[in-house]
Amino acid sequence: MKNASRGVKRVLVVEDEPSVSRVCLKTLTGEGLEVNIAVNGSVAEDILKKTDYDLILIDIRTPVMNGKELYQHISEKHPELAERVIFTTGDVLGGDNKRFLEQSGRVFLLKPFTPDELKAVVRETLRQLEK
């Protein structure tokens, strides 16, 4: 899923909060990654039809189509991408989100997160995927 012609890794950020999107965009482009933003799962679904990604950062709570629904779609339609998902959430206390994250087995990042925390989880996930 790498953009082999340029060697640049692509990240899709699914996030409806503009301030969080800006932090992700600035931080990840600063790491040399190509970043696209989708404001919800429905927009992300359309983008995934046209573009390959090395990593997808998904907020669990987005309007129209939430992160859980998007992950279900990815698991069914793009199963090779399911292991490339990192979730973000400000709510793991709720039983549903906690259960979902445990069942998915995916890495997650608690909001609010710092740019350094974002860089660390993205670097580690990409490193694990390259093994």
The whole-number average pLDDT for the span 5-31 is: 93
Average pLDDT of span 109-119? 96
Give the pLDDT of residue 6. 55
Kindly tell me if the per-residue pLDDT of 100 is higher than 50. yes
Q: What values do phi and psi take at 37, rounded to 5?
A: -115, 135
Question: Does 1 have pLDDT greater than 60?
Answer: no
* Confidence grade of residue 94 (pLDDT, cut at 50, 70, 90): low
> Which letter does DSSP use for residue 4 in this model?
T
> How do strand 10-14 and strand 34-38 relate by DSSP bridges?
parallel
* 55 contacts 32 by C-beta, under 8 angstroms: no
Q: Superfamily for 1-94?
A: Response regulator (3.40.50.2300)
Residue 103, token pair as written in the block: 């069942």
pLDDT tens digits, one per residue of 50-80: 999 999 999 999 999 999 999 999 999 999 9
Q: Which tokens is 121 given?
A: 């989880």
Share of the chain above pLDDT 90, in %: 85
